Structure 1
Amino acid sequence: MILLLLFLAITQFSNADEPFDVRKHLATVTRYADSKDISANSFVSSEIPDQCTPIHLNLVARHGTRAPTKKKIRELDALDAHLEVLVRDAKEHKQYSEKIPSWLAGWRSPWKGKVTGGELITEGEDELYHLGIRVRERFPDLFNEEYHPDVYSIKTTQVPRASASAVAFGMGLFNERGKLGPGRHRAFAVTSESRASDIVLRFHDCCQSYKAFRKSQEPNVNKLKEPLLNEITHELVRQYGLNFTNQDVSSLWFLCKQEASLLNITNQACSLFSPSEVSLLEWTDDLELFILKGYGDTLNYRMGVPLLEDVVQSMEQAIKAKEEGYATGIYEKARMRFAHAETLLPFSCLIGLFLEESEFERIQREESLELPPKPPKNRNWRGSNVAPFAGNNMLILYSCQSDNSSKYFVQVLHNERPIALPGCHGSSFCPFEIFKDKIAAPHLKHDYNMLCNVIEQKQKDSAST
């Protein structure tokens, strides 16, 4: 408790001019608009020379803000029932009932009775729709062609919230480019692979080795979280006189994230936690994200090699079209993909985002990294930044007319902002040859089937010991 109070005092002192906003600390449940100002350090992006022209765009995006899944709705239903019992028991003891927050009396889950979940909500549609508008405005030369699916490719997983996100994005991207209705919309193609065989966008779902790894690691993640949950649970019991369990606190934190992100309510479940407790709970989410989906194990991201291969191949095809002088309208100018946090996170790791240069060199040597530091220390790895709702990476391929040895460069935008590439000496504007040879090639030497087939992986591990 003393440590929590000390951290709170430090936080309040260091951010005296910036009020604490819980909506910026919701890990991967953070809304896109709230995440865009989140950054662990300032980064001055490389200037794009005047003689450079964008010739191709790759987009990897997460779906927009969505409703809770059916599994999480059941968890909130269980919380609903248990809180009712706790409040009733506390009211029998007057000294405790006076501590109960007024909103808790009679609280019911907003999703109670729902039998479906996980769908894209209106706010999520809006996020992707306006992202599409901004992308076209930012790169007018790339989107000045008459629409054709071979020129503007839109791919998605078969999960409805991802495909709905792709449609919302396309409606923004091609806004007023057609003749349908008052908005002058136009039809466009959105394609997907079967869930059972989509190793480009749902590689995590098809990778048996990863499923086994994740199952083996989940108990360790829970063990890491337990001391902090114990401490916060003890404090909430003392403060409110309700006999909370660790599971209650975990569910209340999830409720806080859903209320703040989906309903813009911050004075109910979120008000139970102090800013320091919110920051620490956010850190536990980031820890889980790091271990199970991020840099915690090379398999987490190397299973995404089919996606990285697809991105590099699309750039090579664009360079070929440029070199051979293909006529406009017959080659691809943009390849846009809509998927999930489990897709975006590994892809971010494959291109080395959110690392210091020394850390990038370690993952190239397949060495493990330290866990994200605990607050109040700063960390680059924050779910609210790396994979919020509608989070995205754009890789823009430029053709440059200059005397330099490299004619083609790649700029990486994370959530629409240039981001440092440790594999390219911290620049956000990287010669294509360096991007391909130093950043991509060390991963592309791995074969997806060898990585993801449990039996083959075990044989490989046995042979190396």
Structure 2
Amino acid sequence: MAAPLIALLLLTFFHAASVLASANSDFDVRRHLSTVTRYHVAKEISDNSYIPSNIPDQCKPIHLNLVARHGTRAPTKKKMKLLDALGTRLEVLLGNVKEKKSGALPPWLRGWKSPWTGKHKGGELIGLGESELYELGIRVREKFPQLFHEDYHPDIYPIRATQVSRASASAVAFGMGLFSDRGNLGPGHHRAFAVISESRASDIMLRFHDCCQNYKAFRKSQEPSVDKLKEPILDEITKELVKRWGLSFTRQDVSSLWFLCKQEAALLNKTDQACALFSPSEVGLLEWADDLEVFIVKGYGNSLNYRMGVPLLGDVIQSMEQAIKAKEDGLVPGSYEMAKLRFAHAETLLPFSCLIGLFLDGRDFDKILREEPLQLPPKPPQTRIWRGSTVAPFAGNNMLVLYSCSANNNTSKYFVQVLHNEHPTRIAGCGDSDFCPFEVFKEKIAAPHLKHNYNDLCSTESLPTTPANKLWQILGWFFPANTSGTQKDEL
């Protein structure tokens, strides 16, 4: 009897192991990299349960607003130093491993050096990022031929970018795709086009986060509490990795290895090294910890995070109103602005997504109008709407398409459809529809935010007079808005 029982147990064990292996084989770490996710991966992550609106045949697009993040970039100079330090640290850890145990370790760990060692600059748009924006430009033109059939003119298709090179390079890549075969330059028949940039120190339209002193003070004040929230996750995973690999990893080691995993997966399409040190459930927890940070200091965690974006929202509404006026005045296409195209950062895209009510349900939308705090994204394995891999991946974007419709039964003549990463996306403030009457969009979604003034929100003079805030004000007088991009890595 013992032999059949043992055989049955072994069979059960191997079946369970097979099921687990199969489940893990379906797990693609590249879909779980928070805001370091490549666009082509993020674009395929969609809510399959949501059925987008059927746009009536009598509705025609008359204007498009695009707010896009730059494409996939290289690590910044600061992060490259972190990876160099990781290489030194791994050398020390492996030097302490007894010879008989070293055979169980992944071979790549021994002698590992950062792929970016020796580089003196960082943060630039890489070839993969160029392709993301170039191909997006082609797809946008193909999807909305009515808007992009006119000859290029900067007053018809204004293109704006921040003065950070990866954003302006993304604008150029997008424009090359959008206007390909429309000119006489080279074999690709490209044409020249203008990209407008505002000074970093005064760009409150696309770099409001860098010009807002109150936001800088808030973000700095949140760093200790965010680190405290992430500590239990890092400690739990550190303990598991020490047990699994027999190396004396610290919390900082695990944090650096997770960063390496994200860079290898997104930039090098390599998931069998640093990422393979973690189990799928650990990757899910690390992704959630990243998403918490993004939620708290860039998203719905505080109303200042997104309301400092009111200049951008106001510009979007104004451009729609001008398009409506042009339509009402009978102006022909090509005599007015057909599309407004903007290229910036996650710190621009995330607040803008919050301002227009994305990634919320109706109850949460009512809360943000009352300026009540929202609950943090739930811990895995619970599902959550707020995921960095979808809300702001590399090249992530929001397109707001204004439609003119033949009015029937006194209904609205103009509607706004929101596409997030090219997918029609529900808007919490419009009954979870992706096709919203312009009047509703303007009055219910935009107006509650636009009643706030950027200078009032961001001036240090509006801070409560506490010793800490008084010090921040004094420092702000002596050290104006940081424009070097080195104070805190931008996404």
Instruction: Normalising by structure 2, report the TM-score.
Output: 0.89
* Amino acid corresponding to residue 82 of structure 2 in structure 1: E
User: Alpha carbons of 1:41 and 1:373: their partners in 2 closer, same or farther (altered >3 Å)?
Assistant: farther
Structure 1 residue 101: deviation in Å? 1.1
Contact 1:54 1:396 in 2 (8 A): yes
Q: Which residue of 2 aligns with 1:157?
A: 162
1:65 corresponds, among 67, 72, 93, to 72
Distance 2:259 2:25 in 1: 25
Residue pair 1:40, 1:380 contacting (<8 A) in 2 also: no
Quote the residue 1:27 is aligned against. Answer: 34
From 48, 62, 82, give the equivalent of 1:75.
Answer: 82
1:304 pairs with 2:309: yes
Matches of residues 138-217 of structure 1 in structure 2 within 5 Å? 138-217=143-222
User: 1:99·1:239 contact (CA, 8 Å) conserved in 2?
Assistant: no
Instruction: Supply the RMSD in Å over aligned alpha carbons.
Output: 1.8
1:330 maps to a residue whose letter is S
User: What is the distance in 1 between the residues matched to 2:107 and 2:66?
Assistant: 46
1:275-318 Cα distance to aligned partner (Å, 9 max, x none):
00000000000000000100000000000000000000000000
1:410 to 413, 416, 422: 416
What secondary structure, in the 3-state scheme, does the structure 1 residue paired with 2:464 have? helix
> Which among 135, 139, 142 is matched to residue 134 of structure 1?
139
Question: Which residue number in structure 1 is paired with residue 374 of structure 2?
Answer: 369
- CA contact under 8 A between 2:24 and 2:280: conserved in structure 1? no
1:17: Cα distance to partner?
Answer: 10
Residue 96 of structure 1: CA displacement?
3.0
- 2:449 aligned partner: 443
The aligned counterpart of 2:118 is 113
| Superposed displacement of residue 360, structure 1 | 0.5
AA paired with 1:410?
V
Map of 1:418-429 to 2, 5 A cutoff? 418-429=424-435
- d(CA) in 1 for partners of 2:137, 2:178: 4
The alignment partner of 2:158 has SS state of strand
Aligned letter for 2:440? I
Q: Do the aligned partners of residues 236 and 178 (structure 1) sit closer, same or farther apart at CA in structure 2, a change above 3 Å counting?
A: same
Q: Which amino acid aligns with 2:420?
A: H
Once the two structures are TM-superposed, the CA of residue 194 in structure 1 deviates from its matched residue by 0.2
Q: Give the partner amino acid of 2:301.
A: G
By how many angstroms is 1:88 displaced?
A: 1.3
CA contact (8 A) 1:450 1:457 kept: no
Is 1:250 the counterpart of 2:262? The answer is: no
Superposed CA offset, 1:71-96 (max 9, x none)? 10011011011111111111xx1343
CA distance in 2, matches of 1:362, 1:344: 21
Q: CA deviation at 1:330?
A: 2.0
Q: 2:279 corresponds to which residue?
A: 274
Q: What is the number of residues matched between the two proteins? A: 450
Separation in 1, partners of 2:380, 2:21: 13
1:303-382 superposed matches below 5 A? 303-382=308-387
Mapped partners of 2:464, 2:135: distance in 1? 46
Identity %, equivalent residues: 71
Once the 2 structures are TM-superposed, how far is the Cα of residue 387 of structure 1 from its aligned partner? 0.3
CA distance in 2, matches of 1:388, 1:301: 18
Q: Which has the larger radius of gyration?
A: 2
Q: Distance in 1 between matches of 2:465 and 2:238?
A: 45
**Alpha carbons of 1:82 and 1:415: their partners in 2 closer, same or farther (altered >3 Å)?**
same
Shift of 1:402: 2.4
What are the Cα deviations for residues 211-240 of structure 1, in whole angstroms up to 9, with x where unaligned? 000000011000000011111111111111
The residue that corresponds to 2:7 in the other structure is: none
**2:84 counterpart letter in structure 1:** D
Distance 1:14-1:433 versus aligned 2 partners, 3 A rule: farther
Distance 1:213 1:100, change over 3 A: same
Structure 2 portions without partners, runs of 5+: 1-15, 470-491
Query: Does the 8 A contact of 2:214 with 2:460 survive in 1?
Result: yes
Determine the structure 1 residue equivalent to 2:461.
455
Could you tell me which runs of 5 or more consecutive residues in structure 1 were left unpaired when the two chains were aligned: 1-8
Amino acid of the structure 1 residue aligned with 2:81: R
In 1: Cα distance, 2:183 partner to 2:46 partner: 38
Q: Which amino acid aligns with 1:19?
A: D
Alpha-carbon distance, 1:241 to partner: 1.2
The one-character-per-residue Cα deviations of 1:12-61 (angstroms, maximum 9, x if unpaired) are: 77995970000000000000011112235621111110000000000000
Aligned equivalents of 1:39, 1:18: Cα separation in 2: 21
Report deviation, 1:328.
3.0
Under a length normalisation based on structure 1, what TM-score does the superposition of the two structures give? 0.94
Q: CA deviation at 1:420?
A: 0.3
Match status 1:433 vs 2:455: no
Task: State the SS of the aligned residue for 1:59.
Answer: strand
Distance 1:263 1:25 in 2: 15
Distance 2:201 2:407 in 1: 46
Residues 28 and 388 in structure 1, CA contact (< 8 A), matched pair in contact too: yes
